[in-house]
Amino acid sequence: MPVDFFSQQEKAKRYTKVLLLYFLMAIALIVVAVNIVIYYFFMFVELYPYTASDWFSNGMVYYVSAASCLLVLSGSFFRWLKLKSGGHSVAAMVGAKRLNLHTSDARQRQLINVVEEMSIASGVPVPGLYVLESESGINAFVAGYLPTEAVMVVTAGAIEHFTRDEMQGVVAHEFSHILNGDMQINIRLMAMLAGILMISSVGRLLMSGRNRQHRGRESGGLVVLGFLLLSVGYIGVFFGRIIKSGVSRQREFLADAASVQFTRNPKGIASALNKIREVTTGSVLDNVYTEDMSHMCFAQAFSMRLTKWMATHPPLMDRMKRISPEFVGRVKARALNKKINDKYNKKTESPINKGMGEAVNLSAELVMNFSSEADPVPSLVTAHDFAQTTGKIDQAHIEFATKIHQSFSSELMQAVHQRGMAKMLVLDMILVKMDVESGLKYLKPRLSNDEFNALVQFKGEIKKLENFQRLPLFELMLPTLKLMDENEKNTYINLCEKFIKSDRRYTLYEFVLLSLLKQHLSPQSGADIKIKYYSFKQVNKELQLVFSVMAHSSSSHEDMRNASYEKISQNFPMNNAGDHSGKKLKLLEYKEITPNKITEALKRLSQLSPILKRSVLEAGADIAMYDGQLKYTEAELLRAIADLLNCPLPPLLPS
């Protein structure tokens, strides 16, 4: 059964409270253990020769407990500060290197192509791609607070060993974590666990003083204290692993199932898991932060031979059995045959088997040509069905995304992955809806000669793109555009905004492009968004504005606009604050709607509870389809609104 995006996001928010409860329980036990250790340490060095009851009556218990709590909370706070900006800060912390999207390496290009196709299929902006270059183990993880601002980190071992089908299965698994809210849980868990492990860090610090010149009883006592605190710290490690195990194991099964659902190819992810079993390096990571990030990884990141019940991931064979029992049977049969052959047969070279390695790979993926004659008119769906595709991927969308990706020329894709060229491509996309001659006249004095030549080079190719190709192409450029520094981003956004306004027209198409640029190039783009509103009454003015935008975009007839708006407004508390007359907020006139007002309204709506966002998207789709059809311009506007609400909406499929 398909997983509901909005329900999963809501569950992720609630699960944070459960994590907080576990965190407080761990702190309580650590505080008790620290009090016992400090008490006996004082007895050992004869600083506190009293009974245990004196420990409480003299208030020492409160000082030690307060210090312990402060230490743990400060550790969590400082780790939270370090990770505040989201997934990119996690990648930087673990030493991952950003992948060059313009690379000519065939293996890395395979990863880039698979991720970009999955991104088009899901409506999720392309995650920032990073590589752990020194890691030969096969693993991967995603990190971030928002589905629209995720990063994906892949080890060099995974890039080296995976086939395309295996890579697609793993990428689909990781996209499931993006869509199901697992990233937010994982990154918050990292901050909590950093605090729990602070006690052991203090113990390690005290033990490092064992080489001091003064080796009296007190000095020896500090070493003992350090050892005991280090031992207490392992209570934190113990609880941390139990929490991670409880959070991660079931979610890995769900993500595996989602991968099969997305790709319709259980062999892909099952083969990837089996490959981890077969290679000598497995999935183990050699990183100082392995303990911190183990629960985020695709497979077990450190060895757990003695305490498998605390492992963050289910056993590989159990995961493979759930995905494809037939595949497991074939794996076991091959292993048995190999064992028999190794035992009883000697391998000999013959003219027949000598050439077997040169056989053509009949299972290799065939290149599919995208037909330029594909009908650009979408098939009719209900508003509910369209909104329900949020956060979901299916085989039809993956096939569509592969066709879209392969329809772009190699020269265009090279330009997409080069920062300077990508900037010009966006200007070409804006130019599509403008008078070309006046647009070029405006841009020429504002660009260098090389930039202007690049602009002109791809102008015709961008113009020829079908409506359903442009937004996916724009989304593919976002990771490249994010490589600009903050000053360059601000200058570029300013240029785009002035260029759009230069013809004194501001179309919805231009609004979509500029809004997405501002959203994803903002310095706060990866930061967590706090939920502030749990009722539509708190945002009725914003709903009025967004529904008015959809009504104006869906019909040129005033009666039709009013009717579509009135129908939807009946289902929302569209009254003025304090007005109990039942009079609804009316459809805004076109002149009352400005781009800045729309942007501010969507910012507030992005702070709605996830479960309420679904109703907003369904209402928007209902208005757009009031006339019985959903045009691509309306679908793109809905996708932009969904993106700005941090609800990735897949592209509308052509009929």
Q: Catalogue the long-range contacts made by 429-432 (C-beta closer than 8 Å, 24 or more residues apart).
A: 429/462, 429/470, 429/473, 429/474, 429/513, 430/496, 430/499, 430/500, 430/510, 430/513, 431/459, 431/462, 431/463, 432/462, 432/463, 432/470, 432/509
The predicted structure's pLDDT at residue 338: 58
Cβ(426)–Cβ(471) below 8 Å: no
| Verdict on whether the full-model pTM lies above 0.85 | no
d(CA 365, CA 109): 15
The predicted structure's pLDDT at residue 1: 45
Rg (CA), the chain: 29
Q: Does 211 have pLDDT greater than 60?
A: no
Upper half-sphere CA count for residue 120 (Cβ side, 13 Å):
28
Q: Does 375 have pLDDT greater than 50?
A: no
Q: If you average pLDDT over residues 192-206, what whole number do you get?
A: 79
pLDDT per position as a tens digit, 18-40: 777 878 888 888 888 888 888 87
CATH number, domain 95-188+275-327: 3.30.2010.10
pLDDT per position as a tens digit, 400-450: 899 999 999 999 999 999 999 999 999 999 999 889 999 999 999 999 999
Cβ(613)–Cβ(605) below 8 Å: yes
Per-residue pLDDT band at 462 (split at 50, 70, 90): very high
Tokens 């709506």 belong to 605
Domain ranges of the chain: 5-88+189-261, 95-188+275-327, 379-655
Chain-centre distance for alpha carbon 391: 11
Candidates 281, 278, 364; CA nearest to 320 is 278
Q: Does 87 have pLDDT greater than 70?
A: yes
The predicted structure's pLDDT at residue 379: 47
CA torsion sign, 7 to 585 to 596 to 439?
positive
Tokens of 34: 């620290």
Instruction: Give the pairing type, strands 140-143 and 151-155.
Output: antiparallel
How buried is 53 (Cβ within 10 angstroms: 0-12 exposed, 13-18 middle, 19+ buried)?
exposed
CA torsion sign, 435 to 440 to 441 to 446?
positive
> Which carries the bigger pLDDT value, residue 352 or residue 121?
121
Per-residue pLDDT band at 626 (split at 50, 70, 90): confident
Q: Does 114 have pLDDT greater than 90?
A: yes
Per-residue pLDDT band at 220 (split at 50, 70, 90): low
How many helices and strands (H and E) does the chain possess? 29, 4
pLDDT per position as a tens digit, 244-299: 777 777 788 888 988 888 888 889 999 999 999 989 889 999 998 888 888 899 99
What angle is formed at CA 630 by the lines to CA 629 and CA 631, rounded to 5 degrees?
Answer: 115
Q: Does 88 have pLDDT greater than 80?
A: yes
Could you count the other beta carbons within 10 Å of the beta carbon of residue 266? 21
What angle is formed at CA 417 by the lines to CA 93 and CA 389, rounded to 5 degrees?
Answer: 80
Identity of the amino acid at 441: K
Per-residue pLDDT band at 159 (split at 50, 70, 90): very high
- Calculate the alpha carbon distances from 288 to 92, 104, 291, 514, 569 in Å: 13, 31, 8, 41, 55
Per-residue pLDDT band at 371 (split at 50, 70, 90): very low
Chain-centre distance for alpha carbon 567: 36
Lowest mean pLDDT among 38-42, 172-176, 383-387, 615-619: 383-387
> Which carries the bigger pLDDT value, residue 292 or residue 492?
492
Q: What's the longest Cα–Cα distance across the chain?
A: 93
d(CA 226, CA 218): 12
The predicted structure's pLDDT at residue 416: 94
Q: Does 216 have pLDDT greater than 60?
A: no
d(CA 638, CA 632): 10
Could you count the other beta carbons within 10 Å of the beta carbon of residue 441? 11
Q: Does 161 have pLDDT greater than 60?
A: yes
Identity of the amino acid at 378: P
Q: If you average pLDDT over residues 343-356, what whole number do you get?
A: 43
Per-residue pLDDT band at 391 (split at 50, 70, 90): confident
The DSSP bridge partners found for residue 533 are 608
d(CA 282, CA 607): 42
The predicted structure's pLDDT at residue 351: 40
Q: If you average pLDDT over residues 592-604, what whole number do you get?
A: 88
The predicted structure's pLDDT at residue 428: 95
Candidates 523, 170, 515; CA nearest to 323 is 170
Per-residue pLDDT band at 118 (split at 50, 70, 90): very high
